[in-house]
Amino acid sequence: MELSGLRITIIGAGIGGLSAALALRARGAEVRILEQAEAIREVGAGIQISPNGLRVIEALGLGDGFRSISVAGQAVSLRASGGAEVLRLDLTRLPADQSYRFVHRADLVDLLAARARAQGIRVRLLQKVREITPGAVPQIALCNGDATSADLVIGADGLHSVLRPTLNGRAEPFFTGQVAWRAVVPNTVGHPAEARVHMGPGRHMVSYPLRGGDMVNLVAVEERRGWVEESWSHRDDATNLRQAFAGFGGVVPGLLAAVETPGLWGLFRHPVAAQWHGPGVALLGDAAHPTLPFLAQGANMALEDAWVLSDALASAQTLDHGLANYQARRRDRVQKVITAANGNAWKYHLRNPLVRGVAHLGLGVVGRMAPGAMMRQFDWLYAHDVTA
């Protein structure tokens, strides 16, 4: 299918939307992005870009720029609450063509946005979409009363997507019984270039460096019975976070001492959308398949989506065939990733001291006896190359 001149409107200027815009523009499409915020910016903090996501960044021509704003991860270290290392996954054992990196989300968005502007992609701010009507010429109704259309509309508008319920009906997510704090603090503890998972009964905290190692990203998860709203904008008193992890040792107390006003949000589980596309419309990233943050794959899946969507359209005879092929190529993979992420939380939160001790001992033995095997279990995820 010839994409040259195809008018594409993308809803949302996050990582998925900007990446899709670049991939489609490279194939000749006329792309614009509608973003409801007053500026292109990304809430949140650090993210982990694994080799499968990095391949897309490199294919977009941004490899050198990305390496300059990110930290190369050397290991993933699972640690008991007291600070002792239980298992070490040596990321330097990855093949030479694979790299695992830590980056501030805002820095990656800035990199993508700068390239989008340089490629002539129009970004319109303060454009909150009220409704999208699929069709041969899909229609977009804005909250300010304006209306517009395109040949293809892509909903890259996240958890609360306007397009998703149009294609799938409304489905209420369910609370997982877990909440998460997030914060970025100065690296006053000499945190090395590795992701550390600090595990305790009913809770865990992930830490890794950002911005040349000067900062440390924190995501702390605690099991909790009740929560009101799924949102990225709640703030909490840092005292609550410090109290939740008061029994932890190692670098945890030093990191938490520097937290000022952490973000706090409830973790909800959403089903993968049954239908990712309709006449002239498609879903991408979290709008199609939100994932819990226990495998660090949310941004990576959005990057993969962006590349596959552009490739599926370019290799199809019609728009409908291309959209169907996009969903067929992506749905099973993201379902496998989400299932794996869902299964990770309980492993970090073992409450029974005996069970926890046996599990940690077993992990340590396997990690020391067969470190290569421990890394190969991730081949299905990291070795996957959607750009091949």
Phi-psi region of 5 (alpha: psi -120 to 50; beta: other; left: phi over 0): left
Q: How far apart are CA 38 and CA 54, in angstroms?
A: 29
Q: At residue 199, what are phi and psi to the nearest 5 degrees? A: -105, 135
Q: Is the dihedral of CA 267, 271, 277, 278 positive or negative?
A: negative
Distances (CA, A) of 295 to 61, 181, 321: 26, 17, 31
Note the residue count of the chain. Answer: 388
Please state the three-class secondary structure of 239-289 as a single string. Answer: HHHHHHCCCCCCCHHHHHHCCCCCEEEEEEECCCCCCCEECCEEECHHHCC
Q: Are 125 and 133 in contact (CB under 8 A)?
A: no
Q: How far apart are CA 12 and CA 40, in angstroms?
A: 9
Task: Name the residue type at position 85.
Answer: E
Active site residues: 208
